[in-house]
Amino acid sequence: MAKSGSVEIRTSCDHLASLASDLTHIPAPDTPCYRCQHPNENWLCLSCKEVLCSRYVNKHMLQHSQLSNHCVALGYGDLSVWCYSCNAYLDAQVIMQLRPVYETAFILKFDMDSMNEENDEYVDTVSSAPKRTRCRTSSIWSDFEILPKGPDRKERAKCKKCQNSFVVDSSGTTSLLCHRAKCHQVDNQIVSRQPLDQAMYREMVALTIIRHNYPFSFAEHENNRLLHCYLNPDVKTISRNSAKSNVIKIYKREKENLKHDLKSITGRFCLSLDLWSSPNTDEYMVLTAHYVDEHWVLQKKVLSFSHVPPSCGGVILAERLLGLLKEWGIEKRVFTITLDNVSYNDTLVSHLKRHPSFGPYLPYGGEFFHMRCGAHILNLIVQDGLKVINEAVYNLRESVKYVRGRKLRFAQCLSELPFLTSKKVHQVPTRWNSTYLMIETCLKYRDAFSHLSRVDKYFLNCPSKEEWERVEKIVSVLEPVYDITKLFSGTNYPTANLYFHCVWKIQLRIMEQLEDDDAIIKAMAKEMKEKFDKYWEYYSLVLSFAVILDPRYKLQCVEFCYGKLYKQEAISMAANLRDKLYDFFEEYKNPTSAICNMVGVASSSGGVRGHYDRHDDFSGFETYMSQLICSDSSKSQLDLYLEETRLDHRFHEDLDVMEYWKSHSHCFPELSLMARDILSIPITTIASESTFSIGGRILDKFRSSLLPQTAEALLCARDWLYGVPAIHDFEEESLVEDFGNLCLSQSGSYVDED
């Protein structure tokens, strides 16, 4: 190509127009040079369609022009056209006529200065035109900056992101492109925007409202709509009424899905019933089903959140409950129901047991149908005990309130005393757990309270030395009760097998406190024992079965615990429990019973078998072994289980009881089904966040303003899709939050243990 002299630019070119070749059959821009196979910055001879690099293009074109009067070359690099016959570049108009043919070409830099020296011998024969400066049209130059030439006369480019410099290769920008792909993470693939699915958008808004407890007006919030329109201009925002209808639609769909799932459950259902109140005095009945699914996972599903008339009796509740069970199709598959200790619940239970469409289907004649809420009983026991020491608790509560109004002075007392720990102090009079936490925390600041009473003459409620000592004993009594109540309130693990030894532990602590030298502590223990004997003098038989079905304890645990409490009567009490267990197991062995039919369904459907290969030669081995184990007619599955070696509880503290029975379901098919039913019994009716309140659950103001059907759709759908989250009691923190923060700021380190 020409490197010196003037360059003529022609507005037209007859040689190009007279080309007989078809321009639509021009080779692709990435076609390599036919001589050196170089792929970039090549020229195309439009006469013979040969592709040549800059090293050979001049020689080829000059030799070729001797045979042709129209020798024209096209530069793939920047789509420039040079006519050797006219010895001139074609103007932009002519070039643009050719550009559609090369619209897929790589726009690469073509540097006239990078011509190989072997082309210099042809320069004078072509033209004396000076070199033509080409504009850099590659997109690579938006990410690189051209640097001045250094002493080595090489051109360099600097990356704008990492500031590293690279030599600009005369053959192209491949090295720069490779660096940009790594440094800038350039995605060369073009991702097309997916079209907006308006139905999916409406459902996602409804799911957001369900999951996060947002009001329906959330769909109409101005900034929320602006955000959605910004993310996708095609979105059609919805109104609160549309959001409500979508929530109802999701609720109905999930309800049908849950009904279908419940039909496949082979075991029985354990129910819990609780009443919620609202600020406008309305009451709601919450019905929850507890069961073990086909994977031996404990499930808890809220079946209904229905409005009931205020102060309705047990008969009305029983009829409402029976109607709900029929709606779900499980009225003939119920095992137990866990209720609070109120009088109308006794009426409810007796009415259900006498009902002809419900009572006859209860196992063991309905003897184990009614379960009393363990957390509620613990509340009653502790509250009666706290009444005896009300004066000491009152002084502590008033001390906390006083400190809130004397922050600076108490802060000075804290600064003068060392503290090893810090913890917020909470107290709500109607919740015994907050009383326990308040006492436990105040004990850590005992010296600060005493010091404040000496420097502040108006601080009159500081507990005396005797009261502090008494409070320490109170903590030792309440601590195991507090831990057991939290343990009872779990929903993700079986709690039935925890009942026996936890209740036994509480009874043992009360018996020990009855021997205390402090008259007030002894009186407290006496009050607690009276309430304990009222509800738990006789341990629940079916929940005692649960501890026997725990392979870590079995019947030996019952005998040991009875021996600690009842001495000589322990043997007869354990024998009576054993007889009841065998009688109940007959319900699962009787071939005519409904329970046994469910066992057959479980066996025929495969039960919980995990992965099964139909071509496995050992596919029937487990069934053969279970038949072999149970072939001795003189021993039942329960006999074989009790004769097995007990697992050491010290080395199996974290044993998953459900997993144990899942793995032994082939050896004990009937016994495992009984274990499945018993272990799914809930000890409490409420979650751990509200177990300590004796006032019941309270519906918030937002849900109280909704129609009952809408409130049910929101709460049930949330439980089915995401589970019931923790219910935070903000009132508990508000009472002494200032005092807690003050203690934390003065103690240096902060560990929030709540």
Is pLDDT at 626 greater than 60 in this prediction? no
pLDDT at position 100 over 50:
no
Tell me if 332 sits within 8 A of 361, measured CB to CB: yes
Q: Sheet holding 81-83: strands in order across?
A: 8-10, 88-90, 81-83, 72-75, 43-45, 51-52
CA distance 92 to 179: 33
pLDDT for residue 384: 78
Fill in the amino acid letter for 79: L
* CA torsion through residues 267, 268, 274, 275, sign: positive
**Is the model more confident about 656 or about 416?**
656
**Ramachandran quadrant class, 129 (left: phi over 0; alpha: psi -120 to 50; beta: rest):** beta
What number is the average pLDDT over the span 664-675?
Answer: 92
Cβ-contact 469, 423 below 8 angstroms: no
> Residues of the chain with pLDDT > 90: what percent?
27
Asked whether residue 327 carries a pLDDT value surpassing 70, the answer given is: yes
Q: Is 74's pLDDT higher than 70?
A: no
pLDDT for 633 beyond 70: no
Overall CATH class of domain 265-376+701-722: alpha beta
Q: Return the percentage of the chain with pLDDT > 70, whole number.
A: 64
Over 80: is that where the pLDDT of 35 sits? no
pLDDT band for position 418 (50/70/90)?
Answer: low
Task: Give buried/exposed letters for 486-516 (b at 16+ CB in 10 A, else e).
Answer: ebbbbbeebbbbbbbbbbbebbebbeebeee
Q: What is the pLDDT of residue 728?
A: 40
The amino acid that residue 154 corresponds to is K
- Give residue-wise pLDDT tens across range 670-725: 999 999 999 999 988 865 444 344 444 555 666 667 888 998 999 899 999 988 55
Q: Which two tokens stand for residue 193?
A: 């925007």
Amino acid occupying residue 309: P
Q: What is the mean pLDDT of residues 275-287?
A: 78
List 166's β-bridge partners, or say none.
Answer: 157
pLDDT value at position 656?
A: 92
Q: What is the DSSP letter of 119?
A: G
Q: Identify the sign of the CA torsion 306, 307, 309, 312.
A: positive
Pick the closest to residue 41 from 114, 110, 134 (CA basis).
110
Angle 511-513-514 from CA coordinates, rounded to 5°: 65
- Provide the CB-side half-sphere exposure for 458 (13 A, CA): 6
| pLDDT, position 41 | 64
Triad 448, 453, 458: Cα angle to 5°: 135
Residue 439 and residue 455: Cα distance in Å, rounded? Answer: 23
Question: Residue 430: what pLDDT?
Answer: 41
Q: Is 195 exposed, middle or buried (0-12, 13-18, 19+ CB in 10 A)?
A: exposed
Q: How far apart are CA 483 and CA 474, in angstroms?
A: 14
Which of these, 287, 728, 753, 298, lies nearest to 498 by C-alpha position? 298
What value does the mean pLDDT of the chain take?
Answer: 74
Tokens of 682: 């809930």
Residue 370 carries which DSSP code? Answer: E
First to last CA, the chain: 82
What is the reported pLDDT for 246?
Answer: 97
Tokens representing 622 are 């487990």
The structure tokens listed for 651 are: 């080395």
Q: Please say if the pLDDT value at position 426 is more than 60.
A: no
C-beta separation of 288 from 258 below 8 A: no
pLDDT score of 126: 38
Q: Token pair 């709460």 is at which residue?
A: 715
The full length of the chain comes to 754
Residues 712 and 210: their CA atoms lie apart, in Å, by 11
Q: Averaged over 494-505, what is the pLDDT?
A: 88
Among 35-39, 372-376, 576-580, where is mean pLDDT lowest? Answer: 35-39
Section 98-118 average pLDDT:
37
Q: How confident is the model at residue 607 (pLDDT cuts 50, 70, 90)?
A: very low
Burial, 754: exposed, middle or buried (Cβ in 10 Å; 0-12, 13-18, 19+)? exposed
428 has pLDDT over 80: no
pLDDT value at position 754?
Answer: 33
Res 5: pLDDT: 42
| Averaged pLDDT for residues 373-397 | 81
pLDDT surpasses 70 at 584: yes
**CATH 3.30.2350.10 given to domain 4-137:** no
d(CA 111, CA 131): 9
* d(C-alpha 709, C-alpha 74), whole Å: 76
Asked whether 146 and 117 are in contact (CB, 8 A), the reply is no
Domain range list for the chain: 4-137, 142-183, 201-250, 265-376+701-722
Most confident of 500-509, 516-525, 544-553: 544-553
CA distance linking residue 96 with residue 690, whole number of Å:
78
DSSP class of residue 274 equals E
Q: What's the whole-number mean pLDDT along residues 583-592?
A: 78
Query: What's the pLDDT score for residue 631?
Result: 52
CA angle at residue 385 from 382 to 388, to 5 degrees? 150
Task: Give the number of other Cβ atoms within 10 Å of residue 664's Cβ.
Answer: 18
C-alpha dist (Å) from residue 484 to 490, 495, 497, 502: 10, 11, 13, 6
Distance (Å, whole) CA 591 – CA 147: 92
Nearest to 561 by CA among 551, 546, 549, 571: 571
